[in-house]
Structure 1
Amino acid sequence: MTPSSHPPPRTRLFRGWFVVAGAFAVTLVGFSSAYTFSAFLESLQRDFGASRGSVSLVFSLAGFLYFGLGVVSGPLADRWGARRLAVAGMVLVGLGLAAAGQARSLNQVCLAYGLGVGLGVGASYVPVLGAVQRWFVKRRGFASGMAVSGIGVGTLVMPPLASLLIEALGWRHAYLALGVLAVVVGAGMALLIEDDPRHRGLGPDGDPPQPQAPSAVPAGSTLRDAIRSRRFAGLYAACLISSFGLFVPFVHLVPYALDHGLPPGSAVLLLGAIGIGSTAGRFFLGGLADRLGRQLALPLMSAGMALSLVVWAVSSGFWGLAAFAFAYGAFYGGFVALLPALVMDCFGGRSIGAILGVLYTSVAFGTLVGPSAAGFAFDLSRSYMLPILASIGANLVAAGVLVAMSKARTGARPGPQGTVGNEPTHAQRP
């Protein structure tokens, strides 16, 4: 008798949720290391005598790398497994933060932080998201939302922690402390990542695999077929356009609040409000979209981000900015949670890591340009109004592209096993 011929009885807690927990920790450590940057911006600007646009380039480089490298880490995860890449990525994040604390120039900070955090998150993010998709079908949106809710929790917890560490230890030792935390928590929890429920004698959602049931790694489109489809082109265009403004609040909301007279403690709390909203959006909007249909829910997330940015444009006090931060975080969190699940719906699991990796290069280019351009725009005009308005327009255009994509009939070509990757699964239908 072998485990594959007689699968074990279903346990109380499905192993897939341990995979989700590992992905949660990886996204928490990786992205919170990036999103605490706003708490360090004023210290870096003061100590190195740099402009706001120049300091913002540090974040933009890291963002470009951690989204752009998915095109490499995704296929590597399909071949080597997500766990190895996730552990290596978390170690790189820790080393990058520690090295940034030793930097003696802004260029050295850019290299240490940009390369360390950028390469580390880039090596781990797409692989762990791809792994989670394979463990679930019926609750894929909810599971994906839980996995990436680590980003929201990290945005809630880590910026205030970073602010306290900066106040108590100085920004250099604060980076060292965060680096140690990244290695201990991130690399340790990454060991929970597993690629394939079949290795445990299970099917997706913990159901016993049956001869007539689909494989735990479902057939679907190859990378080549996927990127030649109209549906992928629509997703890529929408993500590229949206991402020009997607991360502007993460870098510039705290400086904006300080410019309007808010005390540093209150300003940093605004990032926490984004984190609270983001966590709520990932949990509740991801699960809701499983019932309503993810193809229609995703453009609603972009439209919601645009509407919330209007609140930022007309607010200067704490409560108005906090309302913006929570609403923006919720729709941003929903967007991030739904995107990989929708990709799985459209193209199947055969090359999910590679497809996600190519798709996230769109976000990489937008992240490289958006936050730094907003900083330079402020340096020239002493106002954030133009970047905010540009972000509103970008999200509205992205929502329109996603709506048009959802109505497209032509998608990925059939794979060799006869499946059409962009046909909706039962989990996608309302």
Structure 2
Amino acid sequence: MVAALVDVPVKARPRLHRAWFVAAVAFVTIIGAAGFASLPGLLIDPLHEEFHWSRGAIGFAVSINLALYGLTAPFAAALMDRFGIRSVVACALTVIAVGAGLTVFMTESWQLILYWGVLVGLGSGSMALAFAATVTNRWFVKRRGLVTGILTAGSASGQLVFLPLLSWIVENHGWRPATVTVALSAVTVVPFVWLLLRDHPADLGLNPYGVDGALQPKPAPQRGAARRTVGALVSAARTGPFWLLAGTFAICGASTNGLVKTHFVPAAHDHGMPITAAASLLAVIGLFDVVGTIASGWFTDRFDTRRLLAVYYGLRGISLMFLPMLLSDSVQPPMIFFIIFYGLDWVATVPPTIALCREHYGEDGAIVFGWVLASHQVGAAVVAFLGGLARDAFGSYDVIWYASGALCAAAALMALVIRHRPVAEQTLVA
């Protein structure tokens, strides 16, 4: 339901709209919080060697983290509507810092599940892509696809910043100093968020970017966050596009966070590649992901989102099929080509997926995207766990690479089946 316009004078629009400043703050915040997402793949071998825990057990803790990351996201989007972006994000960063810090003292695998799986999972879920979707929906009407791509790329930029550093710390000083680094980075971002982030354009007497005329008032806080979140799910679950988006995004999570982010470093290490070199390759994926995701946002503003998704998933599946043949004890040109190719595609799926959620579900689009993101993380959790089991059972990750490639082909076909909502219906939903 569109909020009624009130005849209140709007402040003179500055040359650069404040929305771009808020987007920049959100981008830097996501970068600062990205260290926790960079670490799990670096912990598998050190924890296995020190505590003799199976890779399956460690993968299970990572899977809990990934699942809670996704399942928390839709509730976080509703909580941001109720309590504001700043409060939710500041609390989330604090929980991440506590969970990461406590892992330093663990001696049993259940503690890894509790500290890293549960606490960091809950905190990171509140800092998930629903945060980017909420900022974009509140502050932008024009250039939403581009801004979504930029904010999504923030996590990849954080990966680029943290992965080489964390891998060097793990290799030279052990895994404990690396987890402390993650905890400190999360704590450092909290005052930055509280002082500089703003919840809504009306707080500054502005309209969202792309809206002229009378001031649009700030919507009243929406109570019953849990009820609204579940209600959005129940309503969306009655529609076909929701299940197609959830299915494709589950495969997206399985083939990125669950597979490559969690298992690429130990898989490369199995072939004799040093951990630092493998982690640096993963960081380079983050570099090209920035380019690919921003470009995807630009494409989303201009092209058919369903066809974009089909192309992204199809190319990803092909690249995964070739990966087992490229792994070796050193970095060769074909591997560099894979890293660039895969990096451009890493989360290019996010801007068109958010756009389709907004198109079909209007004001609840960010919350529905939170549920779609939950499927992304459940898919990631399943493959993070199965990848560890496969390595224990078969002595390699090859079967997981091939299976994920086949799933990406299925996702490409599913994307093409999603129907577009007619423009008249989109207006009614909004």
TM-score by length of 2: 0.87
* Residues in 2 aligned to 1:152 and 1:230: alpha-carbon distance in whole angstroms: 31
**Counterpart Cα distance in 1 of 2:351 and 2:30:** 12
Paired position in structure 2 for 1:356: 369
C-alpha separation between the residues in 1 aligned to 2:428 and 2:400? 43
Query: 1:141 Cα shift?
Result: 0.8
Q: Is the 8 A contact 1:10 1:206 kept in 2?
A: no
CA contact (8 A) 1:244 1:370 kept: yes
**Identity in percent:** 27
CA 1:316/1:341 → structure 2, altered by over 3 Å: closer, same or farther?
Answer: same
Q: Name 2:155's counterpart in structure 1.
A: 151
Equivalent of 2:74 in 71, 75, 86: 71
Other-structure match for 2:297: 286
Q: 2:429 aligns with which of 406, 411, 420?
A: 420
Indicate whether 1:28 and 2:31 are aligned: yes
Q: Hey, what does 1:17 align to over in structure 2?
A: 20
The amino acid across from 1:399 in the alignment is A
Checking the alignment, whether the CA contact within 8 Å between 1:82 and 1:124 is kept in structure 2 is: no
Separation of aligned partners in 1, 2:155 and 2:16: 24
What is the DSSP-based 3-state SS (H/G/I as helix, E as strand, rest coil) of the residue aligned with 2:349? helix
Give SS of 1:292's match: coil
Change (3 A) 1:122 1:191: farther
The Cα of 1:166 is off from its aligned counterpart by 2.4
TM-score by length of 1: 0.87
Q: Is the 8 A contact 1:68 1:363 kept in 2?
A: no
1:226 aligns with 2:236: yes
1:168-317 superposed matches below 5 A: 168-185=172-189, 188-189=192-193, 191-205=195-209, 207-210=211-214, 223=232, 224-247=234-257, 248-317=259-328
Cα shift at 1:192:
3.6
Asked if 1:391 is matched to 2:394, the reply is no
Deviation at 1:206, TM superposition (A): 5.1
Aligned to 1:135: 139
1:205 aligns to what SS in structure 2?
coil
- C-alpha displacement of 1:210: 3.9
**Equivalents in 2 of 1:262, 1:25: separation in Å?**
32
3-state SS in 2 of match to 1:69 = helix
Given that residues 55 and 389 in structure 2 are in contact (C-alpha distance below 8 angstroms), is that contact kept between their aligned partners in structure 1? yes
Distance in 2, Cα, partners of 1:56 & 1:29:
25
Deviation at 1:246, TM superposition (A): 3.0
In structure 2, relative to structure 1, the CA distance for the partners of 1:250 and 1:359 (3 Å cut) is: same
Aligned pair count? 409
User: Which runs of 5 or more structure 1 residues have no equivalent in the other structure?
Assistant: 422-430
Q: CA RMSD in A?
A: 2.6
8 Å Cα contact 1:311-1:321 kept in structure 2: no
- Distance (whole Å) between structure 2 residues aligned to residue 79 and residue 95 of structure 1: 24
* Aligned mates of 1:186, 1:299 — CA distance in 2: 38
